Structure 1
Amino acid sequence: MRSKSIKKSLAATAVLASSVVTGVGLAGSAQATTAGASNSPLTITNGTHTVLYSGQAWTYQGNIAQASWAPDGSRIAYVDGNGNVVTERAGGGGIAVVAPAKAGATRSNPTWVDNGKAIVFAEKVNGASKLEAVPAYLAPGTQVDETDPLSFLGGQKFTEGAESAPDSNGDLLAFQHFNSATQQTDIYVQDSFGRGSAGPVLLAANGDSPTVSPDGKTIAFLRRDSSGYEQIWTAAWHGQDPNFPPGTPKQLTSGTKNHIAPTYSPDGTRIAYEASTQTSGKPEDVESIAANGTGQRVESNTWGFPSYRPSNPNTMVRLQGSDRIGTAIAASQAEWTTAPGNPGANKYPANNVVLSRSDQFADALGGSTLATSVGAPLLLTPSDHLDAGVKAEIARVLGPAKAGKTVYVLGGEQALSPAVANAVHAMGYTVKRLAGADRYATSVAIANEVTRTTQPGSGWQQPERVLVATGNLSPDALSAGAAAESGGHNGPFSGVVILTDDKKMPASTAAYLAQVKAHNNASYPTPVYGVGGAADTALTSIGFQHTPLVGATRYETSYLVARTFFGSWDEGQGSAPTNVGFATGANWADALSGGAFMGMKGGPLLLVNPATGEPASEAEAWLTGFSSSITTGYVFGGTAAVPSVTDSGVGNLIGAMGGQVNYVVNPKN
């Protein structure tokens, strides 16, 4: 993708690090390590612009003392000389400030948590140290809110305000807490920010600088021996269950040497550390030892903080068929296993299918949201008959006919004929047609079905989110479809997509919105979004309060939808993306089935210009910023619809340096 536009977009959000790092004594804590391949390289930082990477020097924009690598190795996190917590692209460039400096605050030990979606660091103010958490990336203009990763936990055995040296393998969070009674630091651990647990668990008294093994089964930490040397100890971690307490600490190293800033290798076989034969002063080299305490060796004669960069290639998947019907089938086969499936291997078949006509979009624009709500693939068929390939795919994912397996038919009999419905019925499945007098009323019928299936009950079911888009052109509604049910840590929202008659508000849509308004909770009213200029105008024409998501082009609007519903690290709005989809903005069919697929993957669908293969330039910068959490990109349609440059270009944006991306076509679940 165009490098100039990427650099320009990144420059709008970047804050360059200062050229001075103070107080680099390098007596610090561990650096986070995520599970990765055995050939994951060891990097060394020492407070300069240079990062030693497998023996080679790489120059970065900021001076880097302590550093931590994202789970896929695409970005490095550190505290710059001005006190900003920043991330920078692997190989240098593209700095993003994730926590701006605060007067009187000293930050240290940034570590990636929640599988690259957030960063936890220690912050010391007026002598008190605590842990803070921030999203790993925020789009330009977004307010940065520091949150306490321990604030919603119960059962702590200490009063917060003396925590430091956080470390994580992406799931577990370990840290040290100063015990005022013993005047020593103790090591505590919690899983996934303590959700569903009683809070941090004491792993070991009298320890510092914890590091979590990639598999989360062992915590290594430092403890001084009788001669004052820092030795590495380990303790088994059995989880938060009080019936399975942590293991008894075991000493791993000994001798007249300090073992500073330990960190596990991504395959868990070794622990690297700074080494010094002095009880104080600058380290002399970087060494490592096997996780069982054998095989000590010198890794580098250059001293500094060791940190492994995980080698975890990202994946670009293209889902394509010989036509739009085949592309929808390919998407279904990639997500849904053949019935009856194998739940033990996390392979579940679908219990429903959503079926739409293949030649027009009019009645189908809410279909992506419906497919997500009922856990179904969205398939396309000609209006007058059931396509043979589609029939076979319905049978594959639903398996033998029985009660509870439904095929939803979108639109009236002019959209999908009785011949289609009868063919499905003859297969033994329940057929449910969702239709209205026109495309706008059909969108309302689909919306009502979405809330009925996600919130069972009688009477009106209030949606949790409403996205409004024009029904006269497809792009805005297609972007909305993948996002309507996107959610945070508590699961998907019950969101719907309803349509306007371009800039006019149809009576059926207005009536639905009136119901939403009448049933609003005064404290938490259902948010309504106008996706695209036409919907914004239609909502304004009836005086309906809403949030406009309007770009200058369909590609910019698509980006704004992604940014709004997938661009945060927040339970109330939407989680940072792990998966991102791409479809042409010039045609609707691939984006329709792709939107349903992305709804199941919990990621946005970005529209790309088929002439260039690129999304909006802002989206390129957004993808690079979120590369720490994005593991997979999906491209819908053949190269005639979305050129191959999209695969390689997006791969370069989300992947780490050195082209660490796997390219796959039409995988099967």
Structure 2
Amino acid sequence: MSAHARLRRSAAVALVSAVTAGSALLLTACDPEDGSDAPGSGTTAPARAATASASATASAQQPSAAPTAAALNLTKGTGLTISNGTRYVVMDGRAVDFGTVVRDLAWSPDGKHAAFVDGNGNLETSDPDGGHKTVVAKAPSGVTWSHPTWQVFTPGAEEAAPGLPAKNDLFFTADDHGTLRLLGVPATGGTPAPIRLGNTSGEDVAENPATGNLWANVGNRTGSAVYANKDDGRVYYRDDYLRQQGGPVTEGSQPDLDEEGDIVFVRSAEGHTHLFLKDGDQRSPERDLTPHATVDYTEPAFSADGKTIAFRAPDGIYTMPAKGGTPTRVSDTVGLPAYRA
């Protein structure tokens, strides 16, 4: 079955801008790359599309005081959260103190648990307020972990997926001295192992790359995911319907997947990085959602209902309708947007 057909089958399925005077707002939520590829660094747009942010390893410091009230923070009641490498997370119109550095915050599908990389580079989970923190796995010395995503499946919850085993795992990127791999670990704790990426069935199918992979996002009830490959500049789909299969679906980076199989991703266009949408049913051509962008737009994330996309810009976080429209700045915090159900 082709990757497109599997996509159709799976389709059912700051912190405020001012911390305190003299306290720098730290950036995180990056492809685990050299910070020289961050937006505004003077690199080319294609290079920015592949990395698009500051180095996560640079954000281990914590601010000395709680943030002040945001001049622009319209996250209340939206489910949108923003992590930026400090101990504070923008959530529901306020800054929540997690008591530890929070990088690349992600949410379980039910919104009851958070996953993030802490100040020691380890993978942690917690309650939504930062309570009951648990170290899921500790990163080896010299290895940088980033961008966790939560894969959950409950047998019987999805009629279109009979026989699937229960899943409660975390996927994330491991940068081992420049070699990028996707790893997985039970969310309750364990030893991380490489994720099986599989291949699309058929003749003359090239092997999916085992390295260079990053920025995984699980996006539907059966646990299928998307990820990017830094080396070939393509977005890949991983079908977890019955067995691990998958392959490249488009050119781009930093993809996210909604329950209907739609993929939002970043691609260089007109001198900047734009957001593009690829429909899960494959009937419509890819669409540039931000054709008038005059800055780099990066790190898109679907809302839980798939109707809104949040994304990062140099001056904060914006949202827009998932089918296209005018971007609206909702927070002057610069960090990674994520939605809590």
Same fold? TM cut 0.5: yes
Quote the residue 2:250 is aligned against. 204
Q: In the alignment, which of 181, 203, 209 is matched to residue 130 of structure 1?
A: 181
Question: How far apart in 1 are the matches of 2:186 and 2:199?
Answer: 19
Q: In the alignment, which of 296, 305, 328 is matched to residue 297 of structure 1?
A: 328
Note the alpha carbon deviations across 1:215-238, whole angstroms, 9 max, x for none. Answer: 2320000001131x1100011224
1:509-520 aligned within 5 A: none
**Would you say 1:195 and 2:245 are equivalent positions?**
no
Question: How far apart in 1 are the matches of 2:269 and 2:183?
Answer: 31
Quote the residue 1:147 is aligned against. 193
Quote the residue 2:287 is aligned against. 250
1:542-553 aligned within 5 A: none
Q: Is the 8 A contact 1:235 1:246 kept in 2?
A: no
Distance 1:77 1:25, change over 3 A: closer
Question: How far apart in 1 are the matches of 2:97 and 2:243?
Answer: 42
Q: Is the 8 A contact 1:186 1:204 kept in 2?
A: yes
C-alpha displacement of 1:67: 0.8
Counterpart residue type for residue 89 of structure 1: D
C-alpha displacement of 1:162: 1.1
Note the alpha carbon deviations across 1:507-527, whole angstroms, 9 max, x for none. Answer: xxxxxxxxxxxxxxxxxxxxx
Q: Is the 8 A contact 2:199 2:247 kept in 1?
A: no
Q: Which has the higher contact order (CA 8 A, sep 6+)?
A: 2
Note the alpha carbon deviations across 1:50-85, whole angstroms, 9 max, x for none. Answer: 111121111102211211011111111111121111
C-alpha displacement of 1:165: 0.6
Distance 1:151 1:158, change over 3 A: closer
**Would you say 1:232 and 2:275 are equivalent positions?**
yes
Q: Is the 8 A contact 2:28 2:104 kept in 1?
A: no
Quote the residue 1:267 is aligned against. 305
Write 1 or 2 for the structure with the bigger share of helix.
1
Question: How far apart in 2 are the matches of 1:221 and 1:128?
Answer: 23
Quote the residue 2:215 is aligned against. 165
Question: How far apart in 2 are the matches of 1:235 and 1:293?
Answer: 12
C-alpha displacement of 1:293: 1.0
Q: In the alignment, which of 90, 114, 119 is matched to residue 52 of structure 1?
A: 90
Question: How far apart in 2 are the matches of 1:260 and 1:151?
Answer: 25
Quote the residue 1:73 is aligned against. 111
**Would you say 1:96 and 2:143 are equivalent positions?**
no
Q: Is the 8 A contact 2:199 2:207 kept in 1?
A: no
Specify the structure having the higher radius of gyration (Cα).
1
C-alpha displacement of 1:295: 3.5
C-alpha displacement of 1:147: 2.3
Q: Is the 8 A contact 2:183 2:195 kept in 1?
A: yes
Note the alpha carbon deviations across 1:102-155, whole angstroms, 9 max, x for none. Answer: 1121111100013471100010112110100100114xxxxx222222256576
Stretches of structure 1 that go unaligned for 5 or more consecutive residues are 1-21, 31-38, 139-143, 239-244, 276-282, 311-669
Q: Is the 8 A contact 2:173 2:182 kept in 1?
A: yes
Distance 1:23 1:246, change over 3 A: farther
Note the alpha carbon deviations across 1:562-610, whole angstroms, 9 max, x for none. Answer: xxxxxxxxxxxxxxxxxxxxxxxxxxxxxxxxxxxxxxxxxxxxxxxxx
Question: How far apart in 2 are the matches of 1:248 and 1:162?
Answer: 27
Note the alpha carbon deviations across 1:602-645, whole angstroms, 9 max, x for none. Answer: xxxxxxxxxxxxxxxxxxxxxxxxxxxxxxxxxxxxxxxxxxxx
Q: In the alignment, which of 211, 215, 220 is matched to residue 264 of structure 2?
A: 220
1:251-650 aligned within 5 A: 251-254=288-291, 255-275=293-313, 283-310=314-341
Question: How far apart in 2 are the matches of 1:308 and 1:172?
Answer: 18
State percent identity of aligned pairs.
26
TM-score by length of 1: 0.36
Question: How far apart in 2 are the matches of 1:301 and 1:246?
Answer: 37
Report how many residues are paired.
255
Question: How far apart in 2 are the matches of 1:118 and 1:104?
Answer: 24
Question: How far apart in 1 are the matches of 2:124 and 2:336?
Answer: 17
Q: Is the 8 A contact 2:88 2:97 kept in 1?
A: yes
Counterpart residue type for residue 237 of structure 2: V
Q: Is the 8 A contact 1:27 1:260 kept in 2?
A: no
Q: Is the 8 A contact 2:310 2:319 kept in 1?
A: yes
Note the alpha carbon deviations across 1:365-396, whole angstroms, 9 max, x for none. Answer: xxxxxxxxxxxxxxxxxxxxxxxxxxxxxxxx
Question: How far apart in 1 are the matches of 2:209 and 2:171?
Answer: 19
Distance 1:173 1:151, change over 3 A: closer
RMSD of Structure 2 on Structure 1 (CA)? 2.5
Quote the residue 1:119 is aligned against. 170
Quote the residue 1:651 is aligned against. none
Counterpart residue type for residue 24 of structure 1: L
Per the alignment, in what secondary structure is the counterpart of residue 129 of structure 2?
coil
Q: Is the 8 A contact 2:173 2:216 kept in 1?
A: yes
Write 1 or 2 for the structure with the bigger share of strand.
2
Q: Is the 8 A contact 1:79 1:85 kept in 2?
A: yes
Counterpart residue type for residue 52 of structure 1: V
Of 247-256 and 57-66, more deviation after overlay is shown by: 247-256
Quote the residue 2:37 is aligned against. none
Question: How far apart in 1 are the matches of 2:177 and 2:171?
Answer: 20
Stretches of structure 2 that go unaligned for 5 or more consecutive residues are 1-24, 32-50, 53-76, 154-166
Q: Is the 8 A contact 1:172 1:216 kept in 2?
A: no
